[in-house]
Amino acid sequence: MNNVNELRDKNGLTEAEFLASYQPGDYPRPSVATDMVIFTVTDEDEENYRKLPEKELRVLLIRRGGHPYLGCWALPGGFVRPTETTEEAAERELKEETGVDQVYLEQLYTFSQPGRDPRTWVMSCSYMALADSSQVAVQAGDDADDAAWFKLTFRSCKGQKDMEPDMESSRRSGREWGPWRTWEIVLSHGTTVLRALLETEEGSSFARCRILENQGLAFDHARIIACGLERLRGKLQYTDLAFHLMPEHFTLRQLQQVYEVVLDRELPTAAFRRKVAGLVEETQQYTRNEGHRPSRLYKKCMP
């Protein structure tokens, strides 16, 4: 059997000769960035201390301190260094922006739509992270003016007629297109409100959605946020991912609130408790100094 290093290609070159003459600049190369959708769940401000606080789903944003999109809000992230993988870059940026490095992190999607960054060809390998808000100390990075947790609401627009598909494009591609739906993202922090409208084909992933309107968010980060929430909502149905948003000890009502605020719907209490019965275990501790009857605290079952 011939040594692979001695094999010659159609130009008569060995691998060593090919590599010695290879010119990387012959092909356009993209820059690679990581962007992170970091979710947490916090308590709403509640004036009545006897009432159980409602929960809010929040996402971490940073205000850009330089061009492009100067002054706009964006997901934490940055360019991948030559000495690191995309996951290492995401972990580094997460540590720099939140001061936390032991949180749940998973790769989300690679966004490579042409023109997504006005500077040059930039592909974003995005990640989703989940954090217990009590353990996170938000801090702005070197290229950011500010960093803050924004309350996130994301719903289908009601009362809007589905848009007609491009029938000519459908005929040319041979694909049957379904109806289109419009979705609204609203992000709020104090008096700052950001808003985006997205459009998806029925049944299609938000990774492929179109951005119809964008007020205050940089780049295509509205699309990445929608994709991250879609992933989180989906995995909550069949995994124990919600516990990454919880403190070590919690009540069953608090756990249910986290599911409800992420899924954006109320859940029947009895059915929910049956669902999580095998995921939690009782402790001998109870809530204290909360202005209402003490509730038993639970913790996640160890695998």
265 CB burial (10 A radius; 0-12, 13-18, 19+): exposed
**Which residues of the chain fall below pLDDT 70?**
1-5, 45-52, 136-145, 158-178, 289-292
Nearest to 38 by CA among 101, 84, 85, 80: 101
Chain segment 88-101, per-residue pLDDT in tens: 999 998 888 777 77
Residue 161 tokens read as: 């007629």
Residues sharing a CB contact under 8 Å with residue 93, sequence separation 6 or more, in sequence order: 34, 36, 76, 77, 78, 141
**Residue whose entry in the numeric block shows the structure tokens 């249910």:** 256
Q: Which pLDDT value is given to residue 167?
A: 37
N-term to C-term CA, the chain: 50
What is the torsional sign of CA 148, 149, 151, 153?
positive
The predicted pLDDT at position 240 comes to 94
To the nearest 5 percent, what fractions of the chain are helix, strand and coil? 25, 30, 40
Residue 22 half-sphere exposure, CB side, CA atoms within 13 Å?
10
Provide the residue type at 183 as one letter.
W
Backbone angles phi, psi at 255, to 5 degrees: -65, -40
Please tell me the distance from the alpha carbon of residue 146 to that of residue 144, in angstroms, as a whole number: 6
